[in-house]
Structure 1
């Protein structure tokens, strides 16, 4: 009985897609089912560092994806040879998550970070960001310091004249969009979204947890600096213990523990009686910045844009109904995550 059931399952999978169209690495234009790993996409995409999982050398993307289109054309852009540093101000912990995932777009949701971390408990998320657990995270403000080095960026050029694979077209033609069960089965078989663009590379990040009064002082200083282009040497003062509640651990998106350890050992900032790792040292030390830049590899996913599979449908009504089902389900999953 077990063998016969297994044979039926294998046969049904073979009917859904051809083996050569199934992959587990980043392929522009391929389709994925967002709901297959919703809330835990960070386990199949290398976007955060995790203490319990040594991800050094792993692929930036390991999610099952299917080739549905025949003639996808794309353009590839090489990244910069140097990293880019930016400082992001976050009023709340949700703002911190939104800022961290701001280059990740999933059509149908305003909170793509929930697709990656929505199933994680708060303690796990905070450890991933290098900070201590806090049951009331919004009593504080946060600053994310992030250094990003892009290796490659890829973008779909156009979906206007793409041809759908023959076996997929048959499934599209036979799909009854008035049947919600049939639509959701189609999603499981062929996906919900296609990969419109992505970028790979690496970034190193650190979270600074602020008292609200100190955060407001830093915010005012940055506005003044941007407006009047004042000397940035004062920046270090606003990252001192006088304003801070906690200095987070330095983390790297690829999970490369060797680089994390190097950063902790070499980027120590001494203020008064305290000595702690700080990415701001790179702002004032070009030698260390050069060394870190040489170490950053191509081990992380820096951005990802997923669009609903409307281009599969030549019938506009079918495509619209399919997209509505996907987006409505996305909202429900987002609320429950």
Structure 2
């Protein structure tokens, strides 16, 4: 459960476990194409709640299946593909064009580690006032200190401005249908679907565990390709300079950096 003061923090929370070396805001590498309509669809909420003055709580249930990680740093004598070696030789210190060509043909990063599996998540949208109230209450007393009734009240449609649809990380329609059917909560005449119904329910959790397969990347760590230039410190420094400048310009041109926050 993550408390997000604004849209930017919500995006950051969604990609919390994705890192990109030498990038100050790595989540922006993955939300670069998230215009309001795209973001709303991915997060399961209405577009108006992306653009307005709201706060959010991201609730997520995760099932990790596989993890892969390089056993050690890439050795200096690592054998490279001929095309990569040729591009390295063509890179000239001070020649921006050669550096850009290397980046376009070879890339900027490599996968250092990853974790796959699947997850269910739901975004709850709040007014600033109600968000502050729930945030202070849960952080002061802890989630486990709240009664089941308190939890349902704080995450109910009469307290939240909007309850997002439950989504799966892999957009698995079968899992999402299961959630709509099994996680429906009824309070008098009000019916709504909430991920909080899983809280403390071992039967539902076991059932969900069988449905969350190995369908999505849940964690990713990308490292800079500067390691391939370690035998030539001057080229390595030049590659770093070009990479850093390009990444900073790219971050500044992200759609969310020009839209209202």
**Same-fold call, TM > 0.5?**
yes
Matched, 1:184 2:119: no
Instruction: Pick closer, same or farther for the CA change 1:160–1:195 going to 2, 3 Å.
Output: closer
Could you tell me how far apart the structure 2 residues matched to 1:140 and 1:317 are?
48
Q: Out of 218, 224, 230, which is 2:145 matched to?
A: 230
Give the distance between the partners of 1:101 and 1:309, measured in 2 at CA. 22
In the alignment, which residue of structure 2 is the partner of 1:332? 249
Aligned residue pair count = 250
What is the distance in 1 between the residues matched to 2:170 and 2:157? 29
Higher relative contact order (CA 8 A, sep 6+): 2
Q: 1:279 to 1:305 in 2, by over 3 A?
A: same
Q: CA deviation at 1:147?
A: 0.6
Candidates 189, 203, 221, aligned match of 1:305: 221
Is 145-154 or 132-141 further displaced after alignment?
A: 132-141
What SS does the aligned partner of 1:128 have?
A: helix
Deviations 1:283-303 (A, max 9, x none): 032211111111100000001
Deviation (angstroms), 1:136: 6.4
**Aligned partners of 1:139, 1:272: CA distance in 2, in Å?**
31
Match of 1:50 in 2: none
- Residues in 1 aligned to 2:162 and 2:90: alpha-carbon distance in whole angstroms: 58
Q: Identify the residue that residue 206 of structure 2 maps to in structure 1.
A: 290
More helix as a share of residues: 2
Q: Cα gap change, 1:173/1:124 in structure 2, threshold over 3 Å: closer, same or farther?
A: closer
| TM-score between the two structures when normalised by the length of structure 1 | 0.70
CA distance in 1, matches of 2:157, 2:188: 9
Aligned 8 A contact 2:19 2:27 in 1: no
1:96-175 paired onto structure 2 within 5 Å? 96-134=10-48, 137-159=51-73, 161-162=75-76, 163-165=78-80, 167=82, 168-175=84-91
SS at match of 1:196: strand
Q: Could you tell me whether the CA contact under 8 Å between 1:193 and 1:308 is conserved in 2?
A: yes
Give the secondary structure class of the aligned counterpart of 1:178: coil
In the superposition, the TM-score normalised over structure 2's length comes to 0.89
Gaps of 5+ in 1: 1-86
Give the CA RMSD over aligned residues: 1.9
The alpha-carbon deviation at position 281 of structure 1 amounts to: 0.3
CA displacement 1:26-81 (0-9 Å, x = unmatched): xxxxxxxxxxxxxxxxxxxxxxxxxxxxxxxxxxxxxxxxxxxxxxxxxxxxxxxx
